[in-house]
Amino acid sequence: MPKRSIPRTMPSAAQEVSISLGERSYTIAIGSGLLADPLSYGGLPKASAALIVSNTTVAPLYAQGLRAALAPHYAQVHEVLLPDGEEHKTWQTLQTIFDALLEHGCDRKTVLFALGGGVVGDMTGFAAASYMRGVPFVQVPTTLLSQVDSSVGGKTGINHPLGKNMVGAFYQPQRVVCDLDVLRTLPAREFSAGLAEVIKYGPIADMQFFEWLEQNMDALVAQQPGALAHAVRRSCEIKAAVVGQDERESGLRAILNFGHTFGHAIEAGMGYGAWLHGEGVGAGMVMAAELSCRLKLVDAAFVARLTALIRRAGLPTQGPVLDRADNAGRYLQLMRVDKKSEAGEIRFVLIDGPGQAVVRSAPDAEVRAVIDACCGRD
């Protein structure tokens, strides 16, 4: 892979957050009007061809603008469209990207551009990591969730019927281009799902940011530009700091999975696509906070604060019933195949006092009590 080159010029509207990973370092550009600006893509690895990977929902809105912005940099700009939805994050869909690369005769210098949300970004990154054993790629996230979380940090992959993101690779992009303007076309449900990944950063790392979210959640839901820019930037700063210390999740980075152990169980148990990822994380954060309280790491007042903020973001605060005969048992079964489990022992991200997180196991009896208390009432 070529050595990373952080550009000397970027659009004047762009704020920049850097991910410091030595030769794998890169910039996250945040601002308005970035997607269709050729300056957003200056300084990337030289290549004769680029491949835009998008889906059937996003491409009609933004592929033409991205193609025009890439035209000054690449002699050929190809496109491949994927079906939209978490349920399509599979080997079969991934193969569509490889088919396009091979049909167009793409070589190992070809640059892939992921134009879409978390599903498109994860699959494009995995394809880039695998094709010819590694080609460059760029994230152009078009959902709030992907701008503040999934596009940053190099996690790529696909789902398996038995578990979310169980097949993949750590593979860093060359750049992330977060155009805040594209969020205007998001359905309200998708935007709320992204707010779950914004909210998580407060309890695990920055209570000042949590308090800012409490004061500004209404402005965020209304997508006021100043509030939105701050939320995206601060989320990226926190994630960049964590990834810079622990790229491959051997320790600290695991705290970014707050709410995800329960949330992934919800997604798998309901069938991928029934609940959005952020919706599962929203309910999952309440469950993780409740478990933290039962283990005497935080008090009930903090759980109530977090629950109220999640509700204000338009997210569910109760999990679904996955099995009427033994709901807690079904959750436990699914969580034991989560990537964070070790030798069958479930590892939870818990709040060890507001603004701090810890990864640890918990007695099954306590987990069952949390699931019984937190599911099926919304």
Question: What pLDDT score does 343 carry?
Answer: 66
Question: What pLDDT score does 14 carry?
Answer: 82
Q: What distance in Å separates the CA atoms of residue 263 and residue 335, rounded to the nearest whole number?
A: 9
Question: What pLDDT score does 272 carry?
Answer: 86
Q: What distance in Å separates the CA atoms of residue 348 and residue 366, rounded to the nearest whole number?
A: 12
Backbone conformation region of residue 153, classed left if phi is above 0, alpha if psi is from -120 to 50, else beta: left
Question: What pLDDT score does 308 carry?
Answer: 98
Residue 53 pLDDT > 80, yes or no? yes
Q: What is the pLDDT of residues 63-94, one digit of tens each?
A: 999 999 999 999 999 999 999 988 999 999 99
Residue 222 pLDDT > 50, yes or no? yes
Q: What distance in Å separates the CA atoms of residue 77 and residue 215, rounded to the nearest whole number?
A: 44
- Residue numbers annotated as active site: 133, 155, 197, 239, 249, 253, 257, 260, 264, 277
Residue 102 pLDDT > 90, yes or no? yes
Q: Which helix (H) or strand (E) holds 112?
A: strand 111-116
Q: What distance in Å separates the CA atoms of residue 118 and residue 89, rounded to the nearest whole number?
A: 10
Beta bridge partners of 357: 351
Q: What is the pLDDT of residues 165-194, one digit of tens each?
A: 889 999 999 999 999 999 999 999 999 999
**In this structure, are strands 111-116 and 357-360 parallel, antiparallel, or unpaired?**
unpaired
Spatial contact of 158 and 193, defined as CB atoms under 8 Å apart:
no
Q: What distance in Å separates the CA atoms of residue 187 and residue 117, rounded to the nearest whole number?
A: 13
Question: What pLDDT score does 12 carry?
Answer: 63
Backbone φ and ψ of 67, nearest 5°: -60, -45
From residue 110, give the alpha-carbon distance in Å to each of 25, 77, 170, 195.
19, 10, 19, 34
Q: What is the pLDDT of residues 228-243, one digit of tens each?
A: 999 999 999 999 999 9
First-last CA distance in the chain: 49
Q: 13-27, 235-249, 250-264, 336-350: which has the minimum mean pLDDT? A: 336-350
- DSSP tag of 132: G
Q: What is the mean pLDDT of the chain?
A: 93
Residue 33 pLDDT > 80, yes or no? yes
Give the closest residue to 291 by CA, choosing from 213, 358, 243.
Answer: 358
Question: What pLDDT score does 378 carry?
Answer: 52
Query: Among all chains, which residue has been given the structure tokens 């980075």?
Result: 253
Spatial contact of 284 and 307, defined as CB atoms under 8 Å apart:
no
Query: Among all chains, which residue has been given the structure tokens 């998008």?
Result: 54
Beta bridge partners of 31: 179
Q: Is the dihedral of CA 361, 363, 366, 369 positive or negative?
A: positive
Average pLDDT over residues 357-372: 96
Neighbours of 177 (CB within 10 A): 28
Residue 101 pLDDT > 60, yes or no? yes
Taking the model in full, what pTM does it have? 0.91
